[in-house]
Amino acid sequence: MSNQQLSVNHHYISQFIIKNFYAEGGLLYSFNIKHNKINTRQYSAKNVCSEKNAHTIEMSNEKFIEIESFYSDIESKIADLLRKVQEPEYQVIQGVIPQELIEQELPEAYKLISFLLSFSYWRLPANKMKANQFRSKIRKIYKEYEKYGNEFNLEKQLLLDIAKKSDNQEKEDFAKKITQYIFLPILFSKVSDAIRNCRFVKTDKNLVLSDNPVICTFDDKTFDFIGDIYMPLSPNLCLTNAPEKIEKFQLKVFEQARNIVMANSQDILLELKNKCSSSTQAVQTCHL
């Protein structure tokens, strides 16, 4: 394991996605869920949706940053994909980029889409408890992982250690992080039928982002996506298999936010606030 230098602030929402929601001045407008109001100051991507050393592993007085390095490599490839689909000349039919066009020009697109959804979902703080519940299934998870993990540049010994009994706090923390940030994202990143039904959809609805923006359901038995899928990628671009539900998904992203909702406009934040609730506490009354 290396000790190269990376930021200690590890983002659970990719910075390149957050930056897509900047207003003209190069900063974010945001809504504070706890205080039920728009924040008076604007933020940059580096100041939101991150946790200090979330991906860092500490063992025997050493700090290892392989997980953060791993995410940086994957995100670079995904960022290239999103830049491609947002090019003005990219063909769009009724707001939807055709599946065959994506597969023709970007043969790895659906694998990257699957990575994007799975990695974005599992590293959210909102899913820490769910990820930890998989610790009881660790042997099955590791067996399944071996079928798919060879596609990733990770040190084998680092992953083998997870199968050992955690007999102290360091090993327990290590096991939790490897499960949440490596095993589960990889296992659920298989290209399934649900993924192949996803489309990049361009819209004029001025989409918002939050600290819990992924709408999807996973089948714990098959390690697969099922049902509706939605993730906002910019104010006018999202990924979904149900484009007719974008307006409902927009409300759901606002509703399921834990601390913050981000946008390039104060108006859309106020509009969603009014649609969801006039409560002074966290909004919990909107439903699909």
Per-residue pLDDT, 272: 94
What does residue 224 show for φ and ψ, rounded to 5 degrees?
-145, 160
Per-residue pLDDT, 163: 47
Per-residue pLDDT, 96: 76
Please state, as a whole number, how many other Cβ atoms lie within 10 Å of the Cβ of residue 215. Answer: 22
Rounded Cα distance between 276 and 278, Å, is: 7
Handedness of CA 233, 238, 241, 245 (dihedral sign): positive
Per-residue pLDDT, 277: 66
What tokens were used for 54? 């979330």
What does residue 107 show for φ and ψ, rounded to 5 degrees?
-60, -25
Rounded Cα distance between 48 and 211, Å, is: 8
Q: Is the pLDDT of residue 154 over 70?
A: no
Q: Is the pLDDT of residue 151 over 90?
A: no
| pLDDT tier for residue 164 given thresholds of 50, 70 and 90 | low
In DSSP notation, 68-114 reads: HHHHHHHHHHHHHHHHHHTSTTS--BTTB--HHHHHHH-TTHHHHHH
| DSSP β-bridge partners for residue 238 | 201, 232
Q: What is the pLDDT of residues 133-149, one digit of tens each?
A: 877 676 666 666 666 55
pTM: 0.84
* Average pLDDT score over residue span 38-65: 85
The residue extents of the domains of the chain are 9-276
| pLDDT tier for residue 5 given thresholds of 50, 70 and 90 | low
* Average pLDDT score over residue span 9-24: 93
Q: What is the pLDDT of residues 57-105, one digit of tens each?
A: 777 777 777 788 888 888 998 898 888 887 766 666 667 766 666 667 6
Per-residue pLDDT, 280: 40
Q: How far is CA 134 from CA 119, 131, 149, 178, in A?
A: 16, 6, 17, 11
Averaged pLDDT of the chain = 81
Q: What is the pLDDT of residues 182-206, one digit of tens each?
A: 888 887 887 777 887 888 899 988 9
Question: Between the ranges 99-113, 180-194, 225-239, where is the mean pLDDT highest?
Answer: 225-239
